[in-house]
Structure formats: structure tokens, C-alpha cells
Chains A and B, each alone.
Chain A
Amino acid sequence: MEKIRKYWNRPSRSAYVFIAPSIILLILFNIIPLIMAFGLSFFDVPITMNHATFVGWDNFVEAFHDPRFINSLKVTAIFTGIEVPVQVLGALVIAAFISKNNKRNKFLRAVYFLPVICSATVIGIMWRMILHSNIGFITAALQSMGLGKINFMNTPGLTIFVISFISIWRSFGISTIIYVTAIQQVSPSLFEAAQMDGAGKILQFLHITVPSIRPTFWYIMMTRFAGALQIFDIIYVTTNGGPNYTTESTVSYIYSRAFSSNSSMGYASAMSVVLFIIIMFITVLMYRRMVKED
């Protein structure tokens, strides 16, 4: 027993002990299902999966000729382009403002965190109600202020921004709090030294805060990218893709193909393989930069 303990206590080996539980769980409950799902992309399978016909690359060929799939990629790209900068940079700036532990900041943090703990379903109903073009509270308020009647949820071109806003509204609290955590870990002596050198707040932020929290920055960056490219639930509970498919993200479309009653699991899987490759490509690029910086 002692021998075993000693054997695994070597730093080079104990790493494996540390990652073993997560790796086993991830393989069992993520990787294996993932491989199974990807395997389906070469088959024509109904929702119940009771029979499958091998179709080779047909599903992939179909995907690239499907205007709704191409459109969904476009929607996803727009959405990611709006959401990621706000979540990654906006949240960082806000976090820097509220990182000191005083009453005001604690209150603001609690407020910003509120939407995070609301359920997506209720958030969807709530926003749908208050932005309703006819009986919405905010629509009516803006109208009475003389700003005209804005149809937030039913205007192609506008609604995607509204959805992006709701999505940011819902989860920017997480990014902010995680940044706050990281900023607070930065050794105070660094700031003190900078202050003695006469550096202003903005300089301190750029030269001390930002470099010190690099790992967290990459974490937020990569998870937000992966998350934004997979946006689904906020769309599902608000517009469900409308108006005229201008908010139908790739995962929304995949979901409707996989689980509507005219389901085609194989086709849905093929589309997720394409999405997976896109996300993986971006992530590996970012990972490389991250490792270089470390």
C-alpha cells in the first residue's frame, strides 16, 4: 500500500491521478455519446433510432445545399460577433470597476448576478411579455416617451440584436464575477508599486490587471466562443428562430431537425459535426496562443 502511494506521489505521475476522475467521467458521459452521435451522421435515422440506413456523406452534402443551414450559420456568426466582445471585454472593464470589496460594489455584484440565477424559461416569457409589440410594458413606455412603436421581437434585422441583448443580459454577470475573482487574486503589492510610480487607474488596469489575469481572460474567451456558437436556449424560449428565420441559430435548427416529429437524427448529427469542426478550429487556434503566453 505504502509502495503504491509512493509510486503515485511523484509529481510526474500524480498528475494522472488528479485528472483520472474527470477524464473517466468525461469519456463515459461525453466522449462516448459524442462518438456515437457523430457516427449517426452517416446514417438516415429516425427519432426513435430503431432502424438506420447507411447513406455515406449524403447528410453532409445536403447540409451544404440547405439554405436554412447556411442561414443558421450566418445568424450564429452575427450573434457570436455581438456577444463575445461584450462578454469578454465589456465584462472585464465592468469587473475592474467593481473589484474592490466595498458596500456599493457588493450590491452591484449581487444585482448583476441576479439574471444568472433565473431560469431561462422564465427569462424568455418575461422578455417576450415586456417587449411585446402591442401590450409590452417597455414598448408602451417608449411609445409614451414619443420614441415611436418599436416591434422588438418581430422585425427581421432588429430581433437578432434584441436576442443578443437578452443573452448578454442573462449571462454577463457570470463573466463579470469570474473576472472579479481573478482581479482580486492579483497581488496588491503590484498595484501599490505602480501607484508609487504614479501610474493612473487606466495604466494600472492595462499594465497590471490585464496581464495578471491572462489565464482567466482565455478561459472566458474560449468558453464564451464555444457558448455563443452554440446559442440555443434563449432563442428557444423567445422567438424560436423567427421572424423569418432571422434568429434561427445553428443549434436551434439542429434541435428542430432532431426532435420535431419529422425528425432526422442523422442529418442533425451531420450538422453538429460541421459546427463542432468550426468550434474546434477556433478553439485550437486560441489554445495555441494561450499556451504560448503561459
Chain B
Amino acid sequence: MKKKKTISIGKVFFNVPVALILIIIALLVLVPVIWMTFSAFKTEREIISWPPTFIPKTFTLENFVDVQGRINIIRYIANSVIYAGVTTALAVVVNSMAGYAYAFYEFKGKTGTFLMTLATMMVPFQVIMVPLFLVVYKMGMYDTYWGLIIPRVAVAGSIFMMRAAFTGIPKEMAEAARIDGLSEFGIFWKIMLPQVKPAVITLVILSVNGSWNDLLWPMIVTSSTEMRTLANGLALFIGQNTIEYGAAFAGALVSLLPMFVLYMFGQKYFVEGMSSGGLKG
């Protein structure tokens, strides 16, 4: 499909500044992240020192040993995986169903319910936190995985995102499938959802990421350390009066790694999703 490359002066004028901008942004992102990565291998004394260093003078693993020794990291990771995994699985189904309905159907109450959905995005979580806790408590889900997960499944932003993704698909596709005798759910599940695979993968990554780094909700809705997530565990290195920088950065790296692997996998599927999506013409 690609045309033969021709180098024109116009192209150079366009491409060089663009590349420059992209590289500058990449550096802005990378320098602090690399600083943090290096700091995880520094001694506490070196992290807070004058003059500040970028590359560690002495490499040490003591921060990682400290993290490993202080918290039950296996248990916390297991909880994080359960919390993020189940929430995301349910979120994909529930939110993309709703997004699909708002994109493809005309029905009474569409505007009303959609605006109601959007309204839930407009209140800071800190404000509804206590009443939400009361609802979860009254339903008997306090200190359970369900109490942790169920309230986090339906997310207005995700519904909205899926609606945007589905809106891009021509409606004729649904009509054709209907004539073939597929049920409405069948159309959604077998025909439409695969069309928006990249959006689904984005939803998965965002949802997993949201639960993975969620600090406040697991803290409130569970009451025992056995139920806590990795994010909660790592928060222990940030004391009220003192911060253990090395341990905090080491913990952050440990918690970042699974997310990064997931992202790389996601990106792989993302590309595959594209090539199949490209057929639709």
C-alpha cells in the first residue's frame, strides 16, 4: 500500500520539527522516570544529598530487600490481581454493552439515562465516599472482594468511550446481520465488539490500571490487612512525618512492571485488532 518514498524539501520541513517535538516529549517523560528507576538503586543517603546525583554512585539492592521484608508482597499482588482482573472482566462486558446501546439504538429515555450516566462523572469521589460506603455496608459487602469490585464495575467514562468507538461503525453492518437472523446480543458480541477491539483493549488497560493504583477505596471498604492491595502496601513506606524514598521508589517499580508487561501485550493485540478492523472498509 505504501508509495515509494520520495524526499522533498517540504517533507523535511515537516518531519524534522515533528520528530524533534516527539523526542522532546519522550525525554520529558523519560528523564523523571529514569531518575526514579535509578533512585530505587541508590542508598537513602544518596537520594537526599547535595549535590543531587542522577546515576547512582553505588548500586544497591537494599531498597528491594526492604520492600520484600516489610510487606507480604505476594498476598498483596494476589489481591491486586483479583481486584483488577475481576473488575476489568465485568467492566468490559457491562460498559461496552451500554456504550453499544447508546451508539446503535434509538430508545425512549436515551438522553435522560445518558446524561444521568455522565452526571456520575461530575462528583468527586471523596464526596460520595461515605454514603457509598454505607450502601456497600448495608448490602453486606463490607470487607469482601465483592464489596471491593462491584461498585467499581460500571464507569461513566468507559461507557462514553465505548459509545465513541461504536459510533464510528456504519449501522448497515448491524442491519445485514439482523437479516442473517442473528439475535441482538449476537450482533453485539460476535460482529460489533470485534470491530472495536482496540477500544476494548484500551478499556482493559485503563480499568486494570485504575484498580491497580487505587488507594482509597480498598483502604475504606476492607478492614483487614489480608484484603489489601499492592498500592496500599506500598503506601506504608510513605510515613506521616518521614518518607522512605528508596523503598517507595523500589515499590513503585515493582508495581509498575506488571502494568508495563500488560501494556506491551495489549499493544500487540491492539495492532492485530487493527489489521482485522481494516477489512471493514
Seen from chain A, the residues whose Cβ lies within 8 Å of a Cβ on chain B are: 5, 8-19, 21-23, 25-26, 28-34, 36-37, 49, 94, 97-98, 101, 106, 108-122, 125-127, 129-130, 134-137, 140, 169, 173-174, 177-178, 181-182, 184-189, 192, 195, 200-201, 212-213, 215-216, 218-219, 222-223, 226, 229-230, 232, 251, 254-255, 258-259, 265, 268-269, 272, 275-276, 279-280, 283-284, 287, 291, 294
Shortest CB-to-CB span from B248 to chain A, Å, is 6
B94 within 8 A of A: yes
Q: For residue B128, which residues in chain A have a CB less than 8 angstroms away from its CB?
A: 30, 33-34, 36-37
- Which of A28, A125, A229, A251 interacts with B245 by CB under 8 Å? A125
Contact yes or no, B154 A169, CB < 8 A: no
Question: Can you list 27 contacts pairing A with B, beta carbon distance less than 8 Å?
Answer: A11-B184, A14-B101, A17-B184, A23-B98, A25-B153, A26-B154, A30-B132, A33-B131, A33-B134, A37-B127, A97-B18, A111-B30, A116-B209, A117-B259, A121-B231, A125-B248, A130-B32, A140-B51, A173-B29, A182-B168, A189-B281, A215-B164, A216-B168, A229-B122, A272-B123, A272-B127, A287-B114
Instruction: Provide the main secondary structure of the chain B interface.
Output: helix
B173-185 interface code vs A (CB 8 A; 1 in, 0 out): 0000010000111
B71 within 8 A of A: no
- Which of A12, A49, A116, A272 interacts with B105 by CB under 8 Å? A12
Contact yes or no, A34 B120, CB < 8 A: yes
Contact yes or no, B52 A140, CB < 8 A: yes
Q: For residue A109, which residues in chain B have a CB less than 8 angstroms away from its CB?
A: 267
B150 within 8 A of A: yes
User: Which chain B residue lies CB-closest to A216?
Assistant: B164
Contact yes or no, A32 B116, CB < 8 A: no
Seen from chain B, the residues whose Cβ lies within 8 Å of a Cβ on chain A are: 1, 3, 10, 14, 18, 21-22, 25-26, 28-30, 32-33, 35-36, 39, 47-54, 93-95, 97-98, 100-103, 105-107, 110-111, 113-124, 126-132, 134-136, 150-151, 153-154, 156-157, 159-161, 163-165, 167-168, 178, 183-185, 188, 196, 198-199, 202, 206, 209, 212-213, 215, 231, 234-235, 238, 243, 245, 248-249, 251-252, 255-256, 259-260, 263-264, 267, 270-271, 274, 277-278, 280-281
